[in-house]
Amino acid sequence: MKQVVKIKGSEPRVSTFLIYEQLGYKTHKQLKEVIRPNIEHFDDLGLRRLETTKPPKGSDGGRPIEAYLLNEDHFVLLIMLCKNSPEAVSLKVRLSKEFRRMKMALVKIAANRNNEEWNRVRCEGKIPRRIETDKIKLFIDYAIEQGSKSAEKYYMIISKMENKALFIVEQTYPNLRDVLGVAELDTIKQADHIVAKALQDGMRDGLHYKAIYKMASNRVKMFSEIRGQSAISMMNEMNQSKLN
């Protein structure tokens, strides 16, 4: 099961819509009915009221989904009120780890922002990133001229391609670069240069946009093979801090 704990407003939260089945309920409404009679207790722990979201991808549409966003204390309280099942226990263990990792990520982000060297390297990396973004914009226009119907997605596609090639990431973050160390920031700065150059070369040579993206991807992969992938793991950092 994919990660469900996400940072919302600088705090790890989980949507009730993403966990109702694992807690043994057939519908999301049934799980919300567990919370409503106990709403005062949840409010004491800082409950965020119903968040409206779009129906999940692949569904038949319908009304927007209204879900509670639970912090770790809310989740523990919910587990106490829910059916006691092996699935619920398993979910509690897994989400406890997810909450811990996300809290470690927030600690890492705060530490990075207070680190002078990290801020210097992060600022230096914004220049090639801006150059890359400008090249991606030109590339998108180029792809649209060649008939692409979803060229705007290349901002996201290229970022994901770089992250996947360069790093082994155990969880998702609002912005992966915020939790990278100085060495990893330098790595992705070089990858930004590589992508920008590949896009420029491909457009100059009049290649098809799909071939240009493949060329950029291959160059980043070759760079990664030389440099080596870095594991981005909050659990490893937490275990290391315990040893120290």
Residue 59, pLDDT score: 53
Q: Is the pLDDT reported for residue 60 higher than 60?
A: no
Q: Are 129 and 57 in contact (CB under 8 A)?
A: no
Q: Can you tell me the mean pLDDT for 36-62?
A: 77
Determine the 3-state secondary structure of 87 from DSSP: helix
Confidence band for 242, pLDDT divided at 50, 70 and 90 = very low
**Six token digits for residue 183:** 């060495």
Residue 238, pLDDT score: 47
Residue range 78-119, pLDDT digits in tens: 999 987 788 888 898 999 999 998 998 999 999 999 999 999
pTM for the full predicted model = 0.77
Residue range 63-80, pLDDT digits in tens: 778 899 999 999 999 999
Q: Is the pLDDT reported for residue 241 higher than 50?
A: no
Q: Is the pLDDT reported for residue 140 higher than 60?
A: yes
Please choose, from the candidates 55, 93, 53, 68, the residue with its C-alpha nearest in 3D space to the C-alpha of residue 13: 68
Rounded to whole angstroms, the Cα distance separating 144 from 74 reads: 47
Residue range 179-237, pLDDT digits in tens: 999 999 999 999 999 999 999 999 999 999 999 999 999 999 999 999 999 888 775 55
Confidence band for 3, pLDDT divided at 50, 70 and 90 = confident
> Which amino acid belongs to residue 204?
R
Residue 240, pLDDT score: 47
Rounded to whole angstroms, the Cα distance separating 49 from 213 reads: 43
Determine the 3-state secondary structure of 25 from DSSP: coil
Confidence band for 32, pLDDT divided at 50, 70 and 90 = very high
Q: Catalogue the E-assigned strands of the chain.
A: 6-7, 12-15, 48-53, 65-70, 167-169, 230-232
Share of the chain above pLDDT 70, in %: 91
Residues with Cβ within 8 Å of 5's Cβ and at least 6 positions away in sequence, in order, are: 12, 13, 14, 95, 98, 99, 101, 102
Residue 1, pLDDT score: 59
Q: Is the pLDDT reported for residue 13 higher than 50?
A: yes
The H or E element spanning position 163 is: helix 154-166
Q: Are 182 and 228 in contact (CB under 8 A)?
A: no
Taking each continuous run of H as one helix and of E as one strand, the counts in the chain are: 9, 6
SS3 content of the chain, % helix, strand, coil (to 5): 65, 10, 25
Q: How does strand 230-232 pair with strand 65-70?
A: unpaired
**Six token digits for residue 43:** 């409010």
Rounded to whole angstroms, the Cα distance separating 158 from 167 reads: 14
Residues with Cβ within 8 Å of 186's Cβ and at least 6 positions away in sequence, in order, are: 121, 125
Residue 185, pLDDT score: 95
Confidence band for 56, pLDDT divided at 50, 70 and 90 = low
Confidence band for 51, pLDDT divided at 50, 70 and 90 = confident
Distance of CA 194 to the CA centre of its chain: 23
Q: Are 67 and 51 in contact (CB under 8 A)?
A: yes
